[in-house]
Chains A and B, each alone.
Chain A
């Protein structure tokens, strides 16, 4: 009876608590069990709806004593049940109450109590556990620490409607991770809970439905099982469809729509299934209407955005359903000017939900406009849409900023919008600001959007360049996140496309040779590809820019130098007289990539670089004197992949090119090259390629052959 000693001690410390509260606690220590029972009952009546009393009793140490009485085998079942009821009542108070209860190890004690055969006691324990577990301050893991708990809860589901309600509610609040889903699934959650969907009690039906929504979320295994479940000889999806009928309570419609959405996204239901197209989607659109509560509108919009994210057909249908695009514009009108004047309470409510509403609307717009050009146009034509995005980008809430930039990204896939509304509203300004200082997830979206804004036809490209974006992008390429590195280098690549010499020079200077090298050996193949793309764009200037080539040469010298010192370099790879010819080392680098285990795309990029090199007069010699490279080109001209064939033929075409403005020696140079290539058998290959099935390849081969004839 450790509590006996402890309780009076604590009372003495806390002198301010009322004598009545103390009296209640004292009675719990009465030697007469009958008096203890009466004490607990009186306590129960005293705490109902009285948060202060609850706090007092907790401070006075009532909880350990109640738990002691609850766990004591000698206590009458009535007393134990009453104790559980009082604890449940205490849990109904503030979050601090819950914390104190959890600290007193109430959860294991109550879970233990569930083993008792007395139904009234079990229900009281479950009610208390339910209240504790639905609180955000309770760690959900506590439900899973003892592996016998879940199976036991499953077995209690058949005991009464109350146990069904409480247990399903506990499950739906404590299923937060894929692991939780798996645990519940493995213990037969689906078979045990499915019959509850047709329970006569609305509360049970509702909680069971919520359970399924959390179980199915992003879980293929659960979703695939759910579609085949029969409830009273009816398919579960049909049960959900019935729950979405318009005369059902909104909460039920919304949750049922969530279940079907998750099942659809997990691949268990096709996106063209009528229960998705004609039922779930319209139901979710209805949830976005002005008639619904703000919370419902947020949830409806988010679920709808999730449902149609991957499917353009659903996006098209949603875009014409019930004026959804216009309906969403209303999400930005909170708090409304009316609410500010008339009703303080309403204003408070509106303010609380304003952020949520805005981010939900942005998300849904992003999802709607992710594929279809017409929908994007419709969105940007919505009243003040671009202004809203622009101001959304600089909102204080990260959630809103992220959603706004997602929306902007989705719209930036449209060439037309890039040329018009994006430029008109100078969206690049807030976007650049956003890039300066933002969490990674926002940065990824923002930089990805920036990539699109830097496309050569985008009128925003110029002002962005002037705002010193190069430094920023170069810093992104040094990020730990592969997505950020890709976006950084991608943006640079777009920027270098057909850019003038000054820009290209700036890019190379800002990025630095070291960083370029690091990117070429990046573990992420996307990064490597975009880096090669950048190199290609940097080199593809007509006429070749000597300054640039020089820069590149020094870069590649550096590169090769480092490669030499790295263990990965093959021993056969020898460099003679490094300083005499930079170009030679480019060749070596190219050879290295062409020989390495790289994807088709990487090799294609490399061959394109090679082709660009072959465009320059001096550089041609570098290739002609390198038999390795020539053999490689020959190999790729006969490769099974058309893209590689095309790139290789492009190289040869450049090599045999007959310059019109050339000097005499250039003329002869061309002749010499042609002769050598003929010797090597390139002409035969070109002949073959003129009969190729791919029209591009065929054309290119023919053009090359004409050079021989000239």
Chain B
């Protein structure tokens, strides 16, 4: 009935097969000194703005795992299709996989129907999937893109709610970023002004939120194409390594050496051609 939506939605309800596996794993770790690793969250600032010529998306690049910065140059702006990109906040694995799944789905749709996917289609697929999982998939997404109907920016919440807006910020730094956006957003801005606005919004999130930091990525989507600037701006607080952390050969002293030659006999040799052309 639906044209080319390839992912088969399960017949009923949800797939929680991995829950029992996780419980068993946690049971195994319980006795020992190790604890189950905390899922990597992108405590994050992401923002998007619709301007005259297209859509500008921005994100910071810090990924945290508890109180530790797990990744200083994490890519939070994910590719969906040639005309759409998606920023993700929440659990890093969830945003990564959800956007990957969406991207694959839309590629197959494009191939089957011969059309470029529209932003509303991507939003609908995301909404259906996240609603089905009732908030268990911790992905808050900002989807922006340009298609034949215009420039669009949508927010998709983890429970499956959507909203179509001209400017938006999400993640733990959203309140700081939203302050900047509310103050300076104007409809139909020029591209450079919009890029500066998004950069300032992310910068404000980085300064005021502990979960956001490091560099700023910007992605500009227009009818002509996509300009993914990574990083748009590097953090002023990059530190220099104080020493060299590579070990010289000879650091570990060799105490004894024993060589045992293995005597092997070739019993049978077969060659099979493989066509790699």
Instruction: Tell me whether A and B are bound partners.
Output: no
